[in-house]
Structure 1
Amino acid sequence: MALPDEESHSTAEAQPGSPWLRKGSIAASLFWLTAGWLVVALLATGFLLTDLYSRALDTTLSQTLDFHVEGLAGILLEAGDPRDPGIALADPRFDRPRSGWYWIIRDGDGNLVNLSLSVVGIDLPSLSGPLDSDGRRTGVLTDAFDTQLRVIERSVTLGGEIYRIEVAGNLTEILGLVRDFRGQAFIVLGAVGAMLAIMSVIVARFALRPIGRLSAAIERVREGENTEITGDYPTEIAPLAEEVNELLRSNAQIIERARNQVGNLAHGLKTPIAVLRNEAGAGQGALAEVVQTETNKMSAMVSTYLERARLAARTSVVGKKADASAIMLRLTRVMRKIHPDIAIELEQAEAALPWFRGDEADLEEMAGNLLDNACKWSKGVVGVQLRGERSAKGANLLIRIEDDGPGLSEEDARKVLRRGVRLDEKTPGTGLGLDIVKELVDVYGGSLELKRSRLGGLLVELRLPTARLGGLVRPVSA
């Protein structure tokens, strides 16, 4: 199989804003906070503008009515007779029936003396309540046509008698203008709010783009594309990038020191244990047997924990990945030479098989042990499959190895994964192969399952984490 070049492994840089409005993101929080504040602010602005407009129209109406009251009072004083039919205002609305614009002159007892043509046939109620210091009063009435009226009344003394001049204007028209203005204002403010919301989306997207680039850079380090975070970042997050790089360097140093110290401790213990074992082996008696037994246990424990430390240190290194297709093809060829009587069938891999996120040697150790074990127990056929799968926990690399051997029961499958357990001592081996596999699987956060194969023997399913930025591979052909 021809391995792809490194350029084919790289994918387009992750878009920092996709999906940038997901729940819990900073951009989503900023957007909804801004949108909520815009809704409150624009609603308050709409009601405030409507109230100001309503006040302005009502004030204008009142001033107009005052003007007509003064004009009617002047005409009345000039005519000298409140019953003069020539008394009239120039505004044609006072001559139009049901216009909502009326004027009436009453005597001191409230009897009708004179009126506008628009009042003919209408029983218009009078205002009640005390007069103000200027001898006038104002209020709101409703005529016979359910039209709301703004009414201003003023008292005039003529020939020793008191007359009341009442002028009414159409308040319903004003309220209609206010409603129209409110609707138009909220349409305009809604459009402004939509534009501001779009602007907040654009601002949040561009303002948070460096965070997305930093996240993508960290992901490239984790997936093995880079060994440290690179790129230029704003002053607000540049210290974070540097701290992450420093953490990576510090982690690598700590791992190296821990590995060296564990190695030194293990090698330092090996010599005294070997001396004790040799001395006990040369002696006789119960004490020598006890010392021999315990030193053997101590030696096995030192070797075990030294191997665990080596595996943990190796798999803790960030930024490693391996081509599973190439490794399995290489292992298959090796096993065919070691077991020439076994037909090993490697199924053609997917065209875009994900890479293993970890050390190549670890994948070889896990897959090699499992494949070798299948060949040892097989009657003649071993099948190997590689595929990518996606679960609720994320993407996985699935390696399936099955044989046509005797297989295992569910109880034996559980037992065989215990350290050093062997179900058949006649087959060569120490029983530690699956122990190493299980140890590495646990370190990488993967899973190992033993099932019944369709070939009649054992089916081993090995699931391992994938390198998300790993490249595409060409179909594998064995």
Structure 2
Amino acid sequence: MKPRSLTARVLLLATIWSALGLVTIAVAISALYRQGVERGFNNLLRAQLYNVVNSVSIGDGDSLAGSPALGDLRFSQPETGWYWLVEPLGNFATAPLASASLGVANLPVPDVEKTPFDENYERYYEMTDDVGNRIRVAETEVVLDDQGRAARFRVSGNLAVIEEEISFFASRLNIALAVVGIGGLIVNGLAIVYGLKPVDRARRGLERIRRGEAERIEGDFPREIMPLANEINALIDSNRRIVERARMQVGNLAHSLKTPIAVLLNEARTLEKGHAEVVVSQAEAMQAQVTSYLNRARIAAQRDSVLARTEAQPVLERLVRVMRKLNDTVNFELEVAPDLTFAMEQQDVEEVVGNLLENASRFARSRIVTRAVPVVREDDTTADGRRSWVEIVVEDDGPGLAPDQIGEALKRGRRLDESRPGTGLGLSIVKEISGEYQGTFGLSRASLGGLRAQLILPAVTKDTA
């Protein structure tokens, strides 16, 4: 999975690149250092080899004679891996000379075809001595006198010296590179966090707009981010103009239709009773339809606007306070969760909740309970999965409705109790408005014994990131 955070993404790429770079540097430096150490080791063996060559000659009795002084005690200590050995060649039959460290042991001679001499008539090869030391041998062959008598000269050194030195260097190198790498990551992290602070400020500005705390992205942004902030502000301004234009058009349409419908209603009263009832009922139906579709148009114009914000607590308290004055025999109880904000226009919230409270007050005997709490809808499949909702529940202790009556109650203009005042439009208006906001509305039996109206409306998302 790709990291969703831009900071985490940049840090991850920087960490991977730094790790690869440091590993490559460590391998390269270690390889170069090994080559240098091995080259120095070979030069040391070559110097020791020619020191032995210069110290050995043919002495009295036609035997090899000489006592090389190599200045290294390891050539006099047994089983150290540091040896020198001089062996006669061809018809030159005499005893070989060897260092005290070699004792009576011998060093095998590899095949010349497998390990040939170089242009200086020298060759270098590795082997394991009798006590298990890995050694490198420098070898050459030298003619000792004018009679053509020659000898093979060999000097060896223990390769453990190289490995110890390389291991010591590698451990110090790794520590140094680790310190550099960790320090580099810390510096990179601080630089990235500091460099992305303007993006974070822009994000917080958008959150303030979404919560209704601001109308524009304010602040001084870098050259790379300022065009984005300007475009967002221009989009918000355009959205605001569209909403205002839609409201104005809806208002103009409402005013243009209100007068003709009022005239029809007034003229209908002067007609004969039979004709008047038909005209009045149709005019009222026209008035209800116009109101409904004007509300739909207005809601559609501002439904997805980031500017539609209404705090739940003051609106609901005001509605309940009004209902208490109109129904002094009913006890109204209100429970509102803190920090709830509807993503709706205030008049739409008042319309739906007011209709529910008015309907409940008609049938309640003595008690109405209203609750507003945040809720998560299981069927919500928004792209970011972070949409919030508010559940409003209005319960009364009235007679309630049978299951087969609930469907009829939600139909426009249907009244199940003709003895009580009303138009039969309240619950249908609640259903239509909640549907326009992609919410839900339902009726069921209340725990108080009466009707339970459940309304789910969109809320402002509270970001904690």
Superposition TM-score, scaled by structure 1 size: 0.81
CA distance in 2, matches of 1:373, 1:37: 67
Q: Are 2:3 and 1:34 equivalent residues in the alignment? A: no
Specify the alignment match of 2:397 in structure 1.
404
Per-residue displacement from partner, 1:422-454 (whole Å, max 9, x unpaired)? 444444323322233233334444443434322
For this pair of structures, how many residues does the alignment match? 443
What amino acid maps onto 2:455 in structure 1? L
Specify the alignment match of 2:117 in structure 1.
131
CA distance in 2, matches of 1:309, 1:64: 95
Alignment equivalent of 1:450, drawn from 443, 446, 449: 443
Specify the alignment match of 1:68 in structure 2.
48
300-309 vs 207-216, greater mean Cα deviation: 300-309
Alignment equivalent of 1:57, drawn from 37, 53, 57: 37
Unaligned runs of 5+ in 2: 378-384
Q: Are 2:189 and 1:201 equivalent residues in the alignment? A: yes
370-379 vs 181-190, greater mean Cα deviation: 181-190
CA contact (8 A) 1:229 1:241 kept: yes
Q: How many angstroms does 1:211 deviate by?
A: 0.8
CA contact (8 A) 1:225 1:319 kept: no
176-185 vs 163-172, greater mean Cα deviation: 176-185
How do residues 280-429 of structure 1 correspond to structure 2 at under 5 angstroms?
A: 301-347=289-335, 349=336, 352-388=338-374, 393=386, 395-409=388-402, 412-413=405-406, 416-429=409-422
Change (3 A) 1:330 1:121: same
CA contact (8 A) 1:223 1:320 kept: no
What amino acid maps onto 2:213 in structure 1? E
**Greater length-normalized contact order (CA 8 Å, ≥ 6 residues apart):** 1
Q: Secondary structure at the match of 1:450?
A: strand
Q: Secondary structure at the match of 2:28?
A: helix
Unaligned runs of 5+ in 1: 1-21, 471-478
Per-residue displacement from partner, 1:261-285 (whole Å, max 9, x unpaired)? 455556667788999999999999x
Per-residue displacement from partner, 1:202-229 (whole Å, max 9, x unpaired)? 1121111111111111121222211211
Q: Are 2:125 and 1:144 equivalent residues in the alignment? A: no
CA contact (8 A) 1:136 1:154 kept: yes
Specify the alignment match of 1:117 in structure 2.
100
Specify the alignment match of 1:221 in structure 2.
209
Q: Secondary structure at the match of 1:24?
A: coil
CA contact (8 A) 1:354 1:468 kept: no
Q: How many angstroms does 1:333 deviate by?
A: 2.1
Per-residue displacement from partner, 1:62-98 (whole Å, max 9, x unpaired)? 0000111111111124868763263442222211112
Change (3 A) 1:411 1:217: farther
CA contact (8 A) 1:153 1:167 kept: yes
336-345 vs 293-302, greater mean Cα deviation: 293-302
Q: Are 2:187 and 1:192 equivalent residues in the alignment? A: no
Q: Calculate the aligned-residue CA RMSD, in Å.
A: 3.6
CA distance in 2, matches of 1:181, 1:338: 91
Q: Secondary structure at the match of 1:118?
A: coil
Q: Secondary structure at the match of 1:119?
A: coil
CA contact (8 A) 2:128 2:134 kept: yes
Per-residue displacement from partner, 1:177-208 (whole Å, max 9, x unpaired)? 22333233223222222222222221121111
Change (3 A) 1:144 1:437: farther
